[in-house]
Structure 1
């Protein structure tokens, strides 16, 4: 088994080769998620990414390559870089004790549409409706309305990524996200896996993640490519 440190250097790749193998699209050594599940791809050999990109874009209008430090190669006659997201990876060191005062609900597939709508309201661009299938999603309701969530995305036998942490604008600054992240993190620890998360460099939420016991470990960049 590949150790945790190596898995975290290429989390998309190892997720697709372990827990999420059923969602993998393998194009000559370049791995992608099924485009209905997640718009992410990963590689080790950048000389293979141009051909793989062209093939994958036959079934999707766009996608992200996720890499720590490698730069993908693409066929610029067919593909263009829309933007590069300078991101970072954070890994739990020691979870800070957080008092859970809200009722937190494990969401089932009857909430797929509500989750999708809330994520796209707050953080559009990454989430597909079937991203819900990648892991557990937890939510907080107010007056019968789903107002805050924290889900799970990439994962292997060794780690699970906390993702889709969003709160409706009418319910921010009430500590909902903090409680959801802590609750989700505890659930991952109970599964005997390491909690991780990814975010943009400079994101104001990084200070919250640090207070909860996460620490910055490495760059992790998203290259958004779109079909010409």
Structure 2
């Protein structure tokens, strides 16, 4: 049922995110101004990766370990993959705002402060982003990243360190997941295997663990 999640980048670029796709051989890559991710129908080849590295010098390949001889050893990040099959029943106590184009500068500054490597200037184009403001300051966000025709990834679950422990992430994840269900799609997400705190939150909200997926870091 969720076989496409074995290859989420490839299928996203083959479906809903086709407009962001750059094809190199059998591999598909996001426009690097939007996201530094790639994937292949089977195994990404050295030639395809080399071509993409001419325009993006630091990126991730999702799935099977790329084939070839690389000047720099590929780094490996193991992520747990979760799927949500039922809407989260939660009482929302915070005002959650849709972030619009006029919020992009603040959104980019906020996310790059905490996760500078995974967010690009055009990443907000991938989907909707929602935030919680306190005293006119953005203090927590969650949005959508990879998207297929029937599934959308919940991503960028970030809370300012000065506002942790207030349940903002829980409410944002529930809210964004609800929006995805309204689109008649299934929410899924990725979290580093070592991030036990986040995994406990997602499991408590009803996400079920589907398996693990490898992310291979390529640097030119």
TM-score (norm 1): 0.92
Q: How does 1:196-207 map to 2 (within 5 A)?
A: 196-203=188-195, 204-207=197-200
Unaligned runs of 5+ in 1: none
Q: Which residue of 1 aligns with 2:105?
A: 113
Unaligned runs of 5+ in 2: none
RMSD after superposition: 1.3
- 1:103 to partner: Cα distance: 0.7
1:51-105 superposed Cα distances (whole Å, 9 cap, x missing partner) = 01111011111110011xx21123323x542x21111110003333111111100
Quick check: 1:122–1:169 contact (8 Å CA) kept in 2?
Answer: no
Quick check: 2:87–2:181 contact (8 Å CA) kept in 1?
Answer: no
Q: Which residue of 1 aligns with 2:161?
A: 169
Quick check: 2:129–2:143 contact (8 Å CA) kept in 1?
Answer: yes
Quick check: 2:12–2:148 contact (8 Å CA) kept in 1?
Answer: yes
TM-score (norm 2): 0.95
Pairing partner for 1:32 from 26, 29, 54: 29
1:122-143 superposed Cα distances (whole Å, 9 cap, x missing partner) = 2332111211100000000000
1:19 aligns to 2:12 (yes or no)? no
- 1:175 to partner: Cα distance: 0.6
Quick check: 1:91–1:196 contact (8 Å CA) kept in 2?
Answer: yes
The alignment covers a number of residue pairs equal to 219
Quick check: 1:95–1:214 contact (8 Å CA) kept in 2?
Answer: no
Quick check: 1:107–1:138 contact (8 Å CA) kept in 2?
Answer: yes
1:209 aligns to 2:205 (yes or no)? no
1:44 aligns to 2:41 (yes or no)? yes
